[in-house]
Amino acid sequence: MYGLELAGEEDAFAAREAEAAATGVTVVAPGLATARGVEPERARRLAYTRRVVELVGRCAPDIEAARAVVAAANVDREGTVAVRARDVRGLTGISTTDAERELGSALVDRGFGVDLDDPDHELRVCFSEDACLVGWTAVEAVRDFTDRKPTDRPFFQPGSMAPVDARAFVNMAGAEPGARILDPMCGTGGVLLEAGLVGADVVGVDAQAKMVGGARENLRHYVGSGDVVRGDATALPLRDDSMDGAVFDAPYGRQSKIARHSLADLVGGALAEVRRVAPECVMVADRSWAEAAEDAGWGVERVFERRVHRSLVRYVHLLHR
């Protein structure tokens, strides 16, 4: 069994993204989940999982209970250790310093040496409401999203999606080395960047020549490869079943009348076309388009409502054929 330290404030969303790299994911407390199996390389690419541990045990959120778990565990490791404790979201008020001292003492009693700077093994102890997970660090996610802030890219336009969200969406759509991921309304290419950085082959389409050129420039800078063409999302220049997954951010509000299409025609047409070329889709919008997705033939697994700020809620649609 494994334990997952989730990031962000929306555990159900983080757990669903984690399913791109793990099986049997179950949220057990705020900010914490367990999983039956984990693919380490894919887990490193998750946006809303900070860390994966090989689970030693689960107990009440209490230092003495956590020490008892360590004292009773069958530990088959050698070398030096360090204990890192975390009060998840500050929910328990537990002193992490006291926890590290107590559990470090329990490991010393079992013959381990302590090395706080460069240990052979790291024991993570995460306290949350109603549960504490104790485990050996197995995977650290590479959460380098601030290196790709939209405003720092070679080409930028207002309204660009945050890299951490784009990464989560492409993971949910099946991005991995060798997979072909489409964004039929690619804009500045933020979704394409994150899919390309996890190893997927990316294809972008946009109606505006300026966006096509800018997305190409951003891809060259961060990924080095990727195809971006000018086209209509309601008439994609792609063969049937040529993609493995798709992600797109539908136009919002009053900005949504593009070329000859009304918003409803644009979104409905894009949904039908994406279904023609890909079996999986994550569509993001400022409202629910679940009915339109069903009309286009999609099965709607779930729609997450994620508040961005006071005046914007993103609806994240998980769609399957």
- pLDDT, tens digit, 9 for 90 and up, residues 225-262: 999 999 999 999 999 999 999 999 999 865 444 556 78
- What residue segments make up the domains of the chain, in order of their start? 2-140, 145-320
Give the Å distances, CA to CA, from 306 to 153, 156, 201, 255, 298.
Answer: 25, 24, 28, 20, 21
Q: Which CATH number fits domain 2-140: 1.10.10.10, 3.40.50.300, 3.30.2130.30, 3.40.140.10?
A: 3.30.2130.30
Average predicted confidence (pLDDT) for the chain: 95
**CATH 3.40.50.2300 is held by the domain 145-320:** no
Section 47-54 average pLDDT: 98
Section 126-149 average pLDDT: 96
Q: How many CB atoms lie within 10 A of CB 291?
A: 10
Which residues are CB-neighbours of 224 under 8 A, at least 6 positions away?
Answer: none
Question: Nearest-CA neighbor of 198 among 180, 217, 221?
Answer: 180
- pLDDT, tens digit, 9 for 90 and up, residues 282-313: 999 999 999 999 999 999 999 999 988 878 89
Assess contact for 193 and 148: CB atoms under 8 A. yes
Q: Report angle CA 298, 303, 309 to the nearest 5 degrees.
A: 140
Decide if pLDDT at 70 tops 90. yes
Q: What is the pLDDT of residue 257?
A: 46
Q: What is the pLDDT of residue 232?
A: 96
Q: What is the pLDDT of residue 159?
A: 83
Q: What is the pLDDT of residue 308?
A: 83
Instruction: Please report the DSSP string for 62-105 in residue order.
Output: -HHHHHHHHHHS-----SEEEEEEEEGGG-S---HHHHHHHHHH
240: helix, strand or coil:
coil
| pLDDT over 70 percentage in the chain | 98
Q: What is the pLDDT of residue 256?
A: 46
